[in-house]
Amino acid sequence: MKRWHILVAEDEKTTNMTISFVLRQAGYRVTSVENGQEALDQVVKHKDSPDQVDFLVSDIQMPGLTGLQLIDRLEEMKIAIPILVLTGFGDKDILIELMRKGVSEYLDKPFESDELVKRITGVLKKAEKLKAESQAKTTQIEQEKARLNRELEAYRQNFEKLRKQVDLAVDAYQSLVYIQPDLDLVNVVYRHQSLADLGGDFFDIRKTAVGCDILVADVSGHDMGASYHTVLLKAFFDENSRIGKDGRDFFRILNTQLLEHGKNERMVTAIFLRLDFASGQGEVVTAGHPPLIRLDNHLTVPRPVYTDGDVLGLSDQVDFESRTFPLASGDRLFLHTDGLVDAFRINGLTGAKIKFSEAGFDELINKYRQRAFPEMVDVMWRDVLDFCRNKPHDDMLLVGLEIK
- How confident is residue 279, by pLDDT bands cut at 50, 70 and 90? very high
Better pLDDT: 103 or 42: 42
Tell me the CA end-to-end span of the chain in Å, nearest whole number.
68
With the CA atoms of 79, 84, 90 and 94 taken in that order, what torsion angle do they form, in degrees rounded to the nearest 10? 0
Q: CA quadruple 346, 352, 358, 362: dihedral positive or negative?
A: negative
Residue 158 lies in a domain: no
262 pLDDT above the threshold of 70: no
Contact call for residues 108 and 116 (beta carbons, < 8 A): no
Per-residue CA distances from 236 to 136, 163, 223, 258 (Å): 33, 11, 20, 11
**171 and 97 inside one domain:** no
Residue 188, domain CATH: 3.60.40.10
Q: Which of 119, 134, 149 is the last residue of a domain?
A: 134
Report d(CA 205, CA 84) in Å as an integer. 68
Q: CA quadruple 367, 371, 377, 381: dihedral positive or negative?
A: negative
**104 and 46 inside one domain:** yes
**104 and 187 inside one domain:** no
**195 and 99 inside one domain:** no
Better pLDDT: 399 or 133: 399
Residue 13 lies in a domain: yes
pLDDT tens track for 154-205 = 787 777 776 665 555 455 555 555 565 667 889 999 998 877 655 568 899 9
Which pLDDT score, from 0 to 100, does residue 289 have?
96
Residue 101, domain CATH: 3.40.50.2300
Which pLDDT score, from 0 to 100, does residue 278 have?
93
247 pLDDT above the threshold of 80: yes
Which pLDDT score, from 0 to 100, does residue 322 have?
96
Residue 37 lies in a domain: yes
pLDDT tens track for 1-28 = 678 899 999 989 989 999 999 999 999 9
Q: Closest by alpha carbon to 85, among 107, 113, 69?
A: 107
Per-residue CA distances from 40 to 14, 30, 299, 324 (Å): 21, 15, 84, 65
**116 and 178 inside one domain:** no
Report d(CA 102, CA 311) in Å as an integer. 47
**317 and 176 inside one domain:** yes
Residue 382 lies in a domain: yes
Residue 130 lies in a domain: yes
328 pLDDT above the threshold of 90: yes
Mean pLDDT of the chain: 86
Which pLDDT score, from 0 to 100, does residue 197 have?
59
Residue 300 lies in a domain: yes
Q: Closest by alpha carbon to 336, among 162, 227, 193?
A: 193
Query: Stretch 255-263: mean pLDDT, rounded?
Result: 77
Q: Which domain holds residue 383?
A: 167-403
Which pLDDT score, from 0 to 100, does residue 169 have?
43
> Domain tally for the chain?
2
**124 and 171 inside one domain:** no
For a pLDDT cut of 90, what percent of the chain falls above it? 46
**88 and 197 inside one domain:** no
Report d(CA 206, CA 98) in Å as an integer. 68
User: What's the 3-state SS for the chain?
Assistant: CCCCEEEEECCCHHHHHHHHHHHHHCCCEEEEECCHHHHHHHHHHCCCCCCCCCEEEEECCCCCCCHHHHHHHHHHCCCCCCEEEEEECCCHHHHHHHHHCCCCEEEEECCCHHHHHHHHHHHHHHHHHHHHHHHHHHHHHHHHHHHHHHHHHHHHHHHHHHHHHHCCCHHHHHHHHCCCCCCCCEEEEEEEECCCCCCCEEEEEEECCCEEEEEEEEECCCCHHHHHHHHHHHHHHHHHHHHCCCHHHHHHHHHHHHHHHCCCCCCEEEEEEEEECCCCEEEEEEECCCCEEEECCCCCCCEEECCCECCECCCCCCCECEEEEECCCCCEEEEECHHHHCCEEECCCCCCEEECHHHHHHHHHHHHCCCCCCHHHHHHHHHHHHHCCCCCCCCEEEEEEEEC
- How confident is residue 294, by pLDDT bands cut at 50, 70 and 90? very high
Residue 129 lies in a domain: yes
- How confident is residue 311, by pLDDT bands cut at 50, 70 and 90? very high
Contacts of 112 (CB under 8 A, 6+ apart): none
**171 and 119 inside one domain:** no
**212 and 267 inside one domain:** yes
Better pLDDT: 324 or 182: 324
Q: Which of 83, 117, 134 is the last residue of a domain?
A: 134
pTM over 0.85: no
pLDDT tens track for 339-369 = 999 999 998 888 899 999 999 999 999 999 9
Residue 26 lies in a domain: yes
pLDDT tens track for 49-59 = 888 998 999 98
Paired with 273 in beta bridges are: 214, 284
**130 and 189 inside one domain:** no
Q: Which of 89, 116, 134 is the last residue of a domain?
A: 134
**186 and 260 inside one domain:** yes
